[in-house]
Amino acid sequence: MTSSRGAIATVLAASITPLALYNTMDTLLIAEDQIRPFKFWHNQQIATGMSFRNELFAQLFSTSLKSRQQFFQRLDQEYATTTGLLLTVSKQQYTAWVNLRSPLAQSLYGVPEPELELEPKPELELLPTVNRQPDRLQPLHLQVA
């Protein structure tokens, strides 16, 4: 198994231009073995997410390693101004992820705004109290040795 540095070095050796572009835009390219994938429910279907450095990301798209040029062209065309991107590479594919805190993720997976007008709580009916005497108490006998 290749180390994460080895996988990135392999990608860098293939062509530096797209990677240099994304590294200067604060978009990280990391080996996929450094992330923790998970699934989540969104819009009546299962979506793919991952965790990296205590941040949560949603998968935007992935392509095979053979489609490297198309992967970076799509990033340039569709996500050039997007913040919070993270790119992963494995032996099989490139994957683009978006941080769930980013504006794009909020528009795709948006959390509904909380209602500002709170409805008043309904009045609780108080049950009548019964003045009940405790059952007869039994004296406690202690023996001292």
Mean pLDDT calculated for residue range 16-37? 65
> Rounded to an integer, what distance in angstroms lies between the CA atom of residue 145 and that of residue 134?
32
* Segment 108-123, tens digit of pLDDT: 876 554 455 566 666 7
* Segment 54-108, tens digit of pLDDT: 899 999 999 999 999 999 999 888 888 888 899 999 999 999 999 988 888 888 8
The one-character DSSP state at 51 is E
The percent of residues in the chain predicted with pLDDT above 90, rounded, is 29
Using pLDDT thresholds of 50, 70 and 90, give the confidence band for residue 9. Answer: very low
Element (H or E) spanning 49, and its range?
strand 45-52
pTM, whole model, 2 decimals? Answer: 0.59
Task: Choose among 90, 39, 85: nearest CA to 64.
Answer: 90
User: What domains are defined for the chain?
Assistant: 4-109 (3.30.200)
